[in-house]
Amino acid sequence: MIADAITLRPAALEDAGVLADLLVQLFNSEAPGVLRGPVADHVCLFRYLVEHELVGGGRYVAADASGQIVGSASLRSPAISGDGMLPPGTLQAAISMIGIGDTLRLFLSAMRASLTTDVSLRPGECYVYSVVVDASARGRGVGEAMMAQLEDAARQMGARAALLRVLVRNETARRLYTRLGYRFVSRTPAALDWIASPTELMRKEL
């Protein structure tokens, strides 16, 4: 079983290309129809963003027995908060890489999502986000193995509880997190459903 051979490690700059591909997969599954141009162009833009993000730490990659990266997830804590800022020149880079149409849809989607996805952490809490398994490796326990090791990393940082958000419509992910011990905390207000896809906040004691 592939999950038995999964190793989670901090992402490095040389992982940026593979990470970009994974994040394009994640984005297209969570916000279908926003990016409509060539996938290769989207990967170029996401690589540009990932290379900036990796400087702050907090992103992990999951590799199989052969060393191939099959998944990724990120962890935010008081120790690894991230500045949440886009790299300088992002707007110009996006327009040149994916065109003005995709750029406008991407930025609008990000702005709408930011209204409903903010999570404030208390001491001892961490936030798990941007969890994705490569399409070729899904259904083989990679997500579960990756989450278990990510929680170990959180404990080593001193976290006593993990929080995450999951799309209400993502039944597969919701079932996985429930099976792993995450429990429902709250849902984004129904009044905002027309602005962004509704999500549930879940929590697990570590």
pLDDT tens readout for residues 54-74: 988 889 999 999 999 999 999
**Tokens describing residue 129:** 């986000």
The amino acid at 82: G
The terminus-to-terminus CA distance of the chain in angstroms comes to 26
Q: How many domains does the chain have?
A: 1
Q: What is the DSSP letter of 1?
A: -
pLDDT of residue 2: 65
Q: What are the distances in angstroms from CA 103 to CA 57, 98, 196? A: 26, 7, 18
User: How far is Cα 94 from Cα 48, in angstroms, rounded to an integer?
Assistant: 9
Phi-psi map region of 194: left, alpha, beta (phi>0 left; psi -120 to 50 alpha): alpha
Could you list the residue range(s) of the whole structural domain that residue 168 is in? 2-205
Kindly tell me the burial class for residue 149, based on how many C-beta atoms sit within 10 Å of its own C-beta (0-12, 13-18, 19 or more): middle
In order along its 206 residues, the chain shows pLDDT tens digits of: 566 789 999 999 999 999 999 999 999 999 999 999 999 999 999 999 999 989 888 899 999 999 999 999 999 987 665 556 788 899 999 999 999 999 999 999 988 888 777 788 999 999 999 999 999 999 999 999 999 999 999 999 999 999 999 999 999 999 999 999 999 999 999 988 888 889 999 999 99
**Helix ranges, the chain (H):** 16-30, 39-53, 90-114, 142-156, 171-179
User: At 45, which CATH number?
Assistant: 3.40.630.30
Structural contact between residues 87 and 48, judged by C-beta atoms closer than 8 angstroms: yes
| Residue 53: φ, ψ to 5° | -65, -40
Find the largest Cα–Cα distance for the chain.
47
pTM for the whole structure? 0.91
b/e sequence 128-148, b meaning 16+ C-beta within 10 Å = bebbbbbeebeebbbbbbbbe
Query: What pLDDT does residue 17 have?
Result: 96
Name the residue among 26, 56, 62, 64 with its Cα closest to residue 43: 26
